[in-house]
Structure 1
Amino acid sequence: MMIGLSCHSRNYGGSTPDEIFEFIKKLGYEFIDVDSVGTIRQVDVLDNYEKQAELVKHLSEKYELKLAEYFLGGVMVDGRKIEPGDPDLNKRKQMYESFHKICSFARLAGFRSIMGSAGVAHKEAGIDHSFESAAAALDKMITIASEHGVAFHVEPSRHSLLNTPSRALEMAKAVKGLKYTLDFLHYQIHGFDQKESMKLLDFTGHMHARQAAVGWPKCPFEYGEIDYDAIIKRLRGLQWNGVIAMEFWNGPAEEAAGMSPVEQTILMRYHLKGLIKKYY
């Protein structure tokens, strides 16, 4: 039983997939999380999933990096991302068809899991109906992923239907087998008690790690308020055996502050390695 440590492929700016894999290998990571926006684009996967799977598998073997999670988000239909819970049933049917291709890609490449969107509230449907529709869609997507032999997770983010720990718990109880890619940043910046967000660890299949403070997303490590000691201790109690991905890329605010994504991810990894050694 052990926790694996991964690096998000989007952390360090735009490069070719080969350059990204090579750099993350040089940083000493065992796993890689692959982004679907800039690294291995979802549009390319949907166009030819076998070709993209072959590419990723080749890079994984070349640089001896294990494939953790494909960072997907919303599923594309005709170039537009469709969210779980979209009130248009025909769009959701097309979304499932696209998702089958993405799961085929993930299986052939050798990913452990895919991270999808938790869904958003649709104005015309309202929050409650959007929640019910998203639950139905996520249930279907879990089944599709299972048929392809890969795990399916969603990220309960501050921008989604699951923007509070209680709503994320409600969804986890409503959808059998639902697992999360949990990033405590999304709740910490709004001041939720970490004891509440830690209840989601019971439903967590994958994690993102970075620091945050109330009102300050992606703050420097030394200003962070997320208690990773308590998190790793709880994971040990749960006998959790997943992967935690370092996720930190510069937006305009971080760039203006002169922050280094490499520095932040290495600091976080060093901290987590010490905690894993302490509790595991």
Structure 2
Amino acid sequence: MKLSLASWSLRSLTLDEAAGLSRVLGIGALDLGYFYKPGLDREALIADPDGTADRVLQLGVALPNLYHLFGGSLSDRNLADPRNRERNEADFRQVVRFAKRAGLASVFVLPGVVNPGQDRVSALTESAESLRRLVAISAPEGIQLTVEPHVHSYLESPTLVLDLLYRVPGLKLTLDYAHFACLGYRQEEIDVLASHAAHVHLRQARAGVLQCKLALGTLNFGAMLGTLRAAGYNGYLSIEYVHQDYMDGQHDDVLTETVDMRDCVREWLA
């Protein structure tokens, strides 16, 4: 297992500076996204995936994963709304072209929300159909499509996640234990998802709190890493401390917590 940084953690740095910090910290890998100062321009990527890929290949770090958001919010063009499929699939073809040229192993998307008139079951059904079509685009190009279950999506329990994975062969997870811990799930209830992970996000959490200081949360990272290893996971562990409005994530020193998490993982791996 190898460490990475999430570019959206470093919201005030340029993309080049974020890559440089990753090297300085001895990590040497950076997840890409569309957010804050280091974010890629989504419309430019879709218009010119090859040119955007050539640019990021100059960063001098490994590029494990792209966080692709289809619209401008969690609900905009979300995958549980069938009206979005044609536009989303057209964009995703360009995203896959970018990922392949840039050497990314995977792309992660969000599963969707409970839209007006839906319940969780109908949202899952529509999302599964959208995701099957996206897997059909990414898989032949060797790009792993992953989905991240998250707070405020329809996909807020391990049971629902397993149901979705059953319905969408070839789909894997970007797994962030924090989203489930925040919702009150015990760590052992989340462990069932480890064998389905193709990418992992790391940050500390506790019930009702999506992100907190390493010493103030309930996630046992030694146990988590052991579960992942036992499940055969050998991919990237992306440290994802953030400073943003979502779920009141504005109270932690991102750099300090990033370094503490780096050292926690290094100690266990050693």
TM-score, normalised by the number of residues in structure 1:
0.89
Aligned to 1:69: 65
Where does residue 240 of structure 1 map in the other structure? Answer: 233
Task: Provide the residue aligned with 2:199 in structure 1.
Answer: 206
* Amino acid in structure 2 at the alignment position of 1:50: D
Alignment partner, residue 147 of structure 1: 140
Counterpart code for 1:171? L
- C-alpha distance in structure 1 between counterparts of 2:130 and 2:54, whole Å: 29
Structure 1 residue aligned with 2:30: 32
Distance 2:76 2:94 in 1: 15
Shift of 1:81: 4.1
Separation in structure 1 between the aligned mates of residue 133 and residue 114 of structure 2, nearest angstrom: 19
Q: State the Cα deviation string for residues 163-193 of structure 1 (Å, max 9, x = none).
A: 1111111111221121000101101112111
Match of 2:259 in 1: 266
Are positions 1:43 and 2:43 aligned together?
yes
Shift of 1:76: 4.1
2:174 counterpart of 1:174: no
Helix, strand or coil at the partner of 2:32 = strand
Distance 1:254-1:151 versus aligned 2 partners, 3 A rule:
closer
Displacement of 1:126 in angstroms is 3.4
SS at match of 2:204: coil
Give yes or no for contact 1:172–1:178 (8 Å, CA) kept in 2.
Answer: yes
Structure-1 residue corresponding to 2:211: 218
Give, in whole Å, the separation in 2 of the partners of 1:12 and 1:131: 32
Counterpart Cα distance in 1 of 2:71 and 2:249 = 29
User: Closer, same or farther in 2 for the Cα pair 1:120/1:266, shift >3 Å?
Assistant: same
1:18 is displaced (CA, Å) by 1.6
Question: What is the distance in 2 between the residues matched to 1:200 and 1:217?
Answer: 18
Describe the SS at the equivalent of 1:82. coil
| Equivalent residue letter for 1:140 | R
Specify the code of the residue in structure 2 equivalent to 1:30: G
Tell me the SS of whatever aligns to 1:28: coil
Structural RMSD (CA): 1.8
Structure 1 unmatched runs, 5+: none
**Correspondent of 1:93 among 81, 86, 97:** 86
Q: Which residue of 1 aligns with 2:57?
A: 57
Residues 5-41 of structure 1 deviation map (CA, whole Å, 9 limit, x = unaligned):
1011111223322222112211211321112223212
Percentage identity across paired residues of the two chains: 25
Is the 1:53–1:106 contact (alpha carbons within 8 Å) kept by the matching residues of 2? yes
Contact 2:4/2:30, CA 8 A, preserved across alignment: yes
C-alpha distance in structure 2 between counterparts of 1:225 and 1:127, whole Å: 28
Matched letter for residue 58 of structure 1: Q
CA distance in 1, matches of 2:23, 2:102: 18
Between the aligned partners of 1:99 and 1:127, the Cα distance in structure 2 is: 25
Q: From 128, 135, 146, give the equivalent of 1:135.
A: 128
- State the one-letter code of the partner of 2:150: S
Moved more, 145-154 or 122-131: 122-131
1:84 aligns with 79
- The answer to whether structure 1 residue 185 and structure 2 residue 178 are counterparts is yes
Residues 181 and 206, structure 1, Cα contact 8 Å, conserved in 2: yes
TM-score by length of 2: 0.92
Shift in Å at residue 199 of structure 1? 0.5
Contact 1:111 1:150 in 2 (8 A): yes
Q: Identify unmatched segments of 5+ residues in structure 2.
A: none
Deviation at 1:47, TM superposition (A): 2.3
Aligned length: 264
Aligned to 2:160, what secondary structure does the other structure show?
helix
- CA deviation vs aligned residue, 1:211-257 (integer Å, no higher than 9, x gap): 011122211111111111111111222221111100012236554x4
The amino acid across from 1:55 in the alignment is: R
Q: Give deviations 1:114-167, integer Å, cap 9, x for gaps.
A: 111112111134332221111111111112111222111010111212111111
Q: Distance in 1 between matches of 2:249 and 2:146?
A: 28
User: 120-129 or 242-251: which moved more?
Assistant: 120-129
